[in-house]
Amino acid sequence: MSADSVVAPAGSAGPADAVSSGLTPLFVRLKLALLKNGLRQSSGRTAAFIASFVLVVLFSAAQLLGLILLRGTEYAPVFTLLITLVLALGWTFMPLFFPSGDETLDPSRLVMLPLRPRPLVRALLVASLVGIGPLFTVCLVVGSVIAVAHGFAGAVTALLGAVLTVLTCVAVARTVATLNVRLLTSRRGRDLAVLSGLVIAVGIQVVNFGWQRLARSGDLSVLDPVTDVVQWIPPASAVGAVHSVSEGAYGRGVCQLLLAVVALVLLLWVWERGLVKLMTAPDGSTLQASSGPSRKESKAGPLSRLLPDGRTGATVQRVLRYIWRDPKTKGAWITSLAIGLIIPVFNALQGTGSVYLACIATGMLGMLTFNQFGTDTSAFWMVATSISTTRDAYEELRARLLALLAITVPYTLLVTCVTAAVVGDWRTLPEVLGLAFALLGALLAAGMVASMRYPYSVPSEGSKTVVPGQGSLAWMSLVAGVVVSMVLCAPLIALTVWLHVAGHATWILLPVGTVYGALAAWAGLKAAAPGTARRLPEILGAVSKG
């Protein structure tokens, strides 16, 4: 690794102080060498890097231009403050979700070198400014301060503010990474990284709804209370200071600037302390070896006492534990739960909602059945060796379905009731619930058959949900399954339309839909069980590729 070749001469140069003086250029060279060597590993990576570099440069340029055009408009202060805040939040959480993105983020690699903490902090801080992310940040921050700076005092504050903001962003990422390095290099850290996609997915939904709301109202004054708070939060306070000084509010500007300086100094202090602790305390392997059992004894809890003995209880319990403990499964569930709640409730809050949208929650959760065995990975052999008859397969599938229903049914009730309450339309509630249960039954039935017929592997690491080569299989299974469940639901939908047109009472859909859904799920189980018992080796082969 070139890291060694760059650092080695420093290590052999003699006293630590002598090393420290040339440390900053050394670390910048190290960062550049790491970037270069990373690219050398594969042409695909080089292409990806160049593509993302070009994209980021174009995007940053567009942002910079946009912000400059914003200069002088009434929206400039609000926008620049919010952009700075979002940037700072991004830098705070990025190292938690993409710990492998920057190799120099892990200071424990430098433990063996004779380095003093203060020069190290300085060197690492400067080195962090090298890269695509910092370039993007610099463009946005420069654009932001240009958008709000007026006059000589404003320009001077803008310069100070921009430097402060960029440094704070970089320092906060470093501090978070240093304080969590044990977490990030452990299994728990990798688990957390798998959940990053989920945060992004849910975040996009929230931002999307927020944006729509803002666009609809067409008046940025709704953001005033937010701006009042944000302008005092560092590092946005540095950009706030530029605006204050440009307006002639020097006192407020100086306070905001000072706040940003204090925050940066505090961050650097915390980071330095973290570095010292990290580099002088025993490392993760030692701690792990000497620590006791990590998980408290989970003696038969209330849940396991409730569950029946035998395969049903064992499988329900395992599936529920996996939903909680396996990052991939957990991510899929939380995404479905969150999106299933956000879409109907946010729409209802905006006045465009309908209780019928609550069926989205049921649909999202029902689709989780489509690759029942995939999340088992190759551990499915433990299930395969215990299934000898169609009855065994039926019990196994039924238990998996029960585990799912234990969450889905109450959640459907909750989302439907909340949506009905927000919309203020309790009269539609029974028919929507009936339809939702029918849809759930149909999806579960299709999901069970699809799991047996088209199983595929789910890789346990990374953000992918299908291993390369099985993508089309996964799509086919999902699309065919959704189409089949729609067809299965058609009679109920037809009945709903007829009841509405004929003006009959629609509450009848609740019992009819519930019974229909239950029957559909039962039929799906019956249809999938013989195939599951017959195709055990094929299913095991298909789910073991991850």
Chain residues that interact with another protein, rule: CB under 8 A: 187, 292-298, 309-311, 313-315, 317-318, 321-322, 325-326, 376-379, 381-389, 536-538, 540-541, 544
What is the sign of the dihedral through the CA atoms of 467, 470, 476 and 477? negative
Contact 76, 70 (CB under 8 A): yes
Whole-angstrom Cα distance, residue 63 to residue 142? Answer: 10
Q: How far apart are the first and last CA of the chain?
A: 29
**What is the closest distance, in whole angstroms, from the C-beta atom of residue 480 to another protein in the complex?**
25
**What is the closest distance, in whole angstroms, from the C-beta atom of residue 381 to another protein in the complex?**
5
CA distances from 143 to 63, 133, 149, 254 (A): 7, 16, 10, 21
Whole-angstrom Cα distance, residue 439 to residue 361? Answer: 11
- Report the residue number, 302 or 351, with the smaller CB distance to another protein: 302
Question: Does 235 sit behind a cis peptide bond, omega within 30 degrees of 0 on the bond before it?
Answer: yes
- Report the residue number, 292 or 503, with the smaller CB distance to another protein: 292
- Report the residue number, 171 or 384, with the smaller CB distance to another protein: 384
CA distances from 92 to 86, 87, 131, 512, 520 (A): 10, 9, 17, 51, 48
Q: Which DSSP string do the residues of 97-137 spell out, in sequence order?
A: H-GGG-GGG-GGGGTTS---HHHHHHHHHHHHTSSHHHHHH
- Report the residue number, 376 or 431, with the smaller CB distance to another protein: 376
- Report the residue number, 243 or 398, with the smaller CB distance to another protein: 398
- Report the residue number, 205 or 544, with the smaller CB distance to another protein: 544
Residue type, 137: T
**What is the closest distance, in whole angstroms, from the C-beta atom of residue 404 to another protein in the complex?**
17
- Report the residue number, 108 or 317, with the smaller CB distance to another protein: 317
- Report the residue number, 203 or 310, with the smaller CB distance to another protein: 310
- Report the residue number, 198 or 383, with the smaller CB distance to another protein: 383
**What is the closest distance, in whole angstroms, from the C-beta atom of residue 11 to another protein in the complex?**
29
- Report the residue number, 210 or 537, with the smaller CB distance to another protein: 537
Each as own residue / partner, the long-range contacts of residues 71-75 (CB below 8 Å, 24 or more positions apart, any chain) are 71/146, 71/147, 71/148, 74/220, 75/220
Whole-angstrom Cα distance, residue 10 to residue 19? Answer: 6
**What is the closest distance, in whole angstroms, from the C-beta atom of residue 62 to another protein in the complex?**
44
**What is the closest distance, in whole angstroms, from the C-beta atom of residue 470 to another protein in the complex?**
17
Burial degree of 9 (CB within 10 A; 0-12, 13-18, 19+): exposed
For residues 457, 462, 463, 469, the Cα torsion angle rounded to the nearest 10 degrees is -40
**What is the closest distance, in whole angstroms, from the C-beta atom of residue 297 to another protein in the complex?**
5
**What is the closest distance, in whole angstroms, from the C-beta atom of residue 532 to another protein in the complex?**
13
- Helix-then-strand count for the chain, H and E: 25, 0
Contact 212, 122 (CB under 8 A): no
**What is the closest distance, in whole angstroms, from the C-beta atom of residue 396 to another protein in the complex?**
8
Whole-angstrom Cα distance, residue 53 to residue 57? Answer: 6
**What is the closest distance, in whole angstroms, from the C-beta atom of residue 378 to another protein in the complex?**
4
Whole-angstrom Cα distance, residue 311 to residue 106? Answer: 45
List Cβ neighbours of 8 (8 Å cut-off, separation of 6 or more). Answer: none
Whole-angstrom Cα distance, residue 255 to residue 259? Answer: 6
User: What stretches of 291-326 show up as alpha helix (H) in DSSP?
Assistant: 302-306, 310-325
- Report the residue number, 350 or 386, with the smaller CB distance to another protein: 386
**What is the closest distance, in whole angstroms, from the C-beta atom of residue 461 to another protein in the complex?**
12
**What is the closest distance, in whole angstroms, from the C-beta atom of residue 320 to another protein in the complex?**
11
Kindly state the greatest CA–CA separation across the chain. Answer: 92
Burial degree of 177 (CB within 10 A; 0-12, 13-18, 19+): buried
**What is the closest distance, in whole angstroms, from the C-beta atom of residue 346 to another protein in the complex?**
33
- Report the residue number, 24 or 312, with the smaller CB distance to another protein: 312
- Report the residue number, 109 or 190, with the smaller CB distance to another protein: 190
List Cβ neighbours of 139 (8 Å cut-off, separation of 6 or more). Answer: 60, 61, 63, 64
